[in-house]
Amino acid sequence: MWAGAGAALALLIPILAGLAVAGPDYWRTMVAFSGTVNQGNYAEGWSLPWEYLWHSEGWLGPGSCWVWPPGVCWRAGPALHSDDRPGWGSLVPS
């Protein structure tokens, strides 16, 4: 419950601050600003995470994407068959 409230506040605080400062013009400014983004090709958006990982980490970046899912499944495995910590409970420290 608190995580949801924190996420909602993280989204609402910047919006409320903008409305407090600019009033109704805030929405017009945000719509106008969104129209100024004209760089890039949306067809290549799928490659951005992989390109970033490759250029920042070398082969370890994309390689880590192949390593961590099996690790998460291995760690969650006992919890999936346990009555005291069902689901992803073993991933959360007790």
Structure tokens belonging to residue 47:
């490659």
For CA atoms 59, 61, 66, 71, the dihedral sign is positive
pLDDT digits (tens, 9 = 90+) for 30-62: 999 988 877 777 777 777 777 887 888 888 877
The number of beta carbons lying within 10 Å of the beta carbon of residue 51 is 13
Coil, helix or strand at residue 1: coil
Q: Is the pTM of this model over 0.85?
A: no
The three-state secondary structure class of 61 is helix
Sign, CA torsion 18/23/29/31: positive
Say what percent of the chain tops pLDDT 90.
Answer: 23
Residue 77's pLDDT is what? 63
Q: Which residue has the higher pLDDT, 78 or 3?
A: 3
Between helix 48-57 and helix 60-80 the angle, nearest 10°, is 110
Q: How far apart (Å, rounded) are the C-alpha atoms in residues 75 and 91?
A: 7
